[in-house]
């Protein structure tokens, strides 16, 4: 008999964030439409995690596919160093129109981690250009996740993912999301800090951990007072996930640098953007070529990605995607509400279109590796209707904006059942 797809996969593929000694059987997906994935075994699962927090409007959305197709036929790819094209310029114009001030230039790359690398490099090198190269420290939040490249790892929480790389990672001070902690760190590090990077409102990989809108305002005020850059990583929170277009909008603040990826193209094409203030862009302008920002990727500003992003923004405006996601969040939360009374449950929370149930843990290990997470992961994997993937002891959902009220109910009740079936740790 011919080998199955998972069997062939096992011979040749190495998957991200996968312990192959334990997880031997990836789910084979053969198609996707709207919020539903079609599996090779003939079953269908509701994509309640939006394919790693990316899918915004649903799979196979005709407008996005048409934009992709038309752009591929017109101009499939061109380098962005010394060249330009209509989709990249139009997208930059539109992004700057909707992004909070004082952002004024768009630097393209192709994934969230590279958007973060660009932000960190541009922020630090601006200090170098200003004659302050000793500002080598970044502040970030405890539990932070900004991606897996070296700079992004450096500003992330070391445990459990990055600790073994510590000999290679630059100096970062992690603080809890409070004004006092930020002030204290800055007082200790006077004159040595380049900037503060954070995921505004929702720290995704930390387990959908939320902080207050007030903290965003505090962060802006404190960074201003200490004259350091505020970097908002809106890779996950951008494009409506938190109920507003950008999380920063809820606080009425604008960062000096903002990282976008995932939902930028509706979540279906790898494209990222780092938006920067004019002040940062201007720091690299000089008659000397050597003062340029020496960073770029083969697929920076990919024409197809930009065309799809423009089509996605059009849908977002026409449908008011942030409002849709907010409604979806409420519907899921309603179905999930009884979980609050379960002995296994520590907290049920919601922000915009994201709901999360945090379970009590039975281990002192970092949350992501908690035993309850392992048992939850197995149960999710086996769920016949809804695709969920816990972050340690936190079960969450963040579906695309096309889900119906009924589908929200299905997600909420699936989460409830999965949690109820867990042993009371
Ligand atoms: C807040 C945040 N920043 C950056 C990244 C990295 O993005 P990518 O996986 O596209 O490199 C992620 C990915 O989950 C993220 O959630």
- The helix (run of H) or strand (run of E) holding residue 172 is strand 172-175
Q: Mind listing the pLDDT tens digit for each residue in 375-418?
A: 899 999 999 999 999 999 999 999 999 999 999 999 999 999 99
Percentage with pLDDT > 70 across the chain = 98
Instruction: Identify the active-site residue in 108, 256, 262, 368.
Output: 262
Domain boundary among 319, 352, 367: 319
d(CA 90, CA 250): 26
Cis? peptide before 8, omega within 30° of 0: no
Indicate whether 187 and 86 sit together in one domain. yes
Q: Mind listing the pLDDT tens digit for each residue in 326-337?
A: 999 999 999 999
Indicate whether 298 and 371 sit together in one domain. no
CATH number at residue 202: 3.40.640.10
d(CA 412, CA 394): 14
Write out the two tokens for 245. 């277009």
d(CA 109, CA 93): 16
> 167: burial class by Cβ within 10 Å (0-12, 13-18, 19+)?
exposed
The DSSP result for 303-316, as a single string, is HHHHHHHHHHHHHH
Is 339 inside a domain boundary? yes
Protein residue closest via CA to atom 4 of ligand 1? 146
CB 304 within 8 A of CB 72: yes
- The helix (run of H) or strand (run of E) holding residue 273 is strand 272-277
Instruction: Tell me, yes or no, if the pTM score tops 0.85.
Output: yes
Indicate whether 230 and 125 sit together in one domain. yes
Residue pLDDT tens, the chain, 425 long: 999 999 999 999 999 999 999 988 999 999 999 999 999 999 999 999 999 999 999 999 999 999 999 999 999 999 999 999 999 999 999 999 999 999 999 999 999 999 999 999 999 999 999 999 999 999 999 999 999 999 999 999 999 999 999 999 999 999 999 999 999 999 999 899 999 999 999 999 999 999 999 999 999 999 999 999 999 999 999 999 999 999 999 999 999 999 999 999 999 999 999 999 999 999 999 999 999 999 999 999 999 999 999 999 999 999 999 999 999 999 999 999 999 999 999 999 999 999 999 999 765 455 677 777 888 999 999 999 999 999 999 999 999 999 999 999 999 999 999 999 998 76
Catalytic, 262? Answer: yes
Classify strands 354-359 and 272-277 as parallel, antiparallel or unpaired: unpaired
Q: Nearest CA to 327 among 362, 352, 346?
A: 352
CB 364 within 8 A of CB 207: no
> 136: burial class by Cβ within 10 Å (0-12, 13-18, 19+)?
middle
- Looking at the structure of the chain, the number of domains it has is 2
Which phi and psi (to 5°) does residue 99 adopt?
-80, 150
Is 425 inside a domain boundary? no
Instruction: Identify the active-site residue in 17, 33, 76, 424.
Output: 17
Residue 366: which domain range? 5-60+320-420
Mutating to test ligand 1, I would choose from 120, 140, 236 the residue with most ligand atoms within 8 A of its C-beta, which is 236
């Amino acid at each position: 008999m011919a080998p199955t797809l998972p069997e062939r996969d096992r011979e040749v593929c190495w998957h991200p964030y996968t312990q192959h000694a334990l997880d031997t059987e990836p789910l084979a997906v053969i198609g996707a439409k709207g919020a539903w994935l079609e599996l090779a075994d003939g079953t269908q699962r509701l994509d309640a995690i939006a394919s790693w927090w990316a899918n915004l409007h649903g799979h196979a959305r005709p407008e996005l596919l048409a934009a992709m197709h038309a752009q591929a036929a017109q101009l499939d790819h061109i380098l962005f160093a010394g060249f330009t094209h209509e989709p990249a310029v139009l997208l930059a114009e539109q992004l700057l129109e909707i992004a909070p001030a004082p952002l004024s230039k768009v630097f393209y790359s192709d994934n969230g981690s590279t958007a973060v690398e660009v932000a960190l490099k541009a922020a630090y090198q601006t200090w170098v250009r200003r004659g302050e190269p000793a500002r080598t420290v970044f502040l970030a939040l405890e539990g932070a996740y900004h991606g897996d490249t070296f700079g992004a790892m450096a500003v992330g929480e070391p445990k459990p993912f990055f600790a073994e790389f510590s000999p290679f990672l630059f100096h970062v001070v992690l603080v809890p999301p409070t004004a006092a902690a930020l002030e204290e760190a800055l007082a200790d590090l006077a004159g040595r800090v380049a900037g503060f990077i954070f995921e505004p409102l929702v720290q995704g990989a930390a387990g959908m951990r939320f902080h207050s809108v007030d903290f965003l305002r505090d962060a802006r005020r404190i960074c201003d007072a200490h004259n350091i850059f505020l970097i908002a990583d809106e890779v996950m929170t951008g494009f409506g996930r938190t109920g507003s277009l950008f999380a920063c909008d809820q606080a009425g603040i604008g960062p000096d640098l903002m990282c976008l990826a995932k939902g930028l193209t509706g979540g279906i094409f790898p494209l990222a953007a780092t938006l920067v203030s004019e002040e940062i862009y201007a720091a690299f302008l000089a008659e000397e070529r050597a003062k340029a920002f020496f960073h770029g990727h083969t697929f920076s500003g990919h024409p197809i990605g930009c065309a799809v992003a423009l089509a996605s923004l059009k849908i977002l405006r026409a449908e008011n995607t942030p409002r849709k996601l907010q409604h979806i969040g409420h519907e899921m939360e309603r179905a999930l509400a009884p979980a609050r009374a379960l002995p296994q449950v520590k907290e049920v929370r919601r922000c915009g279109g994201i709901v999360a149930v945090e379970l009590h843990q039975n281990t002192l290990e970092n949350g992501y590796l908690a035993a309850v997470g392992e048992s939850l992961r197995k149960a999710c994997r086996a769920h016949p209707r809804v695709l969920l993937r816990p972050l340690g002891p936190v079960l969450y959902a963040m579906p695309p904006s096309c889900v119906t009220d009924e589908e929200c109910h299905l997600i909420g009740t699936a989460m409830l059942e999965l949690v109820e079936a867990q042993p009371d740790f």
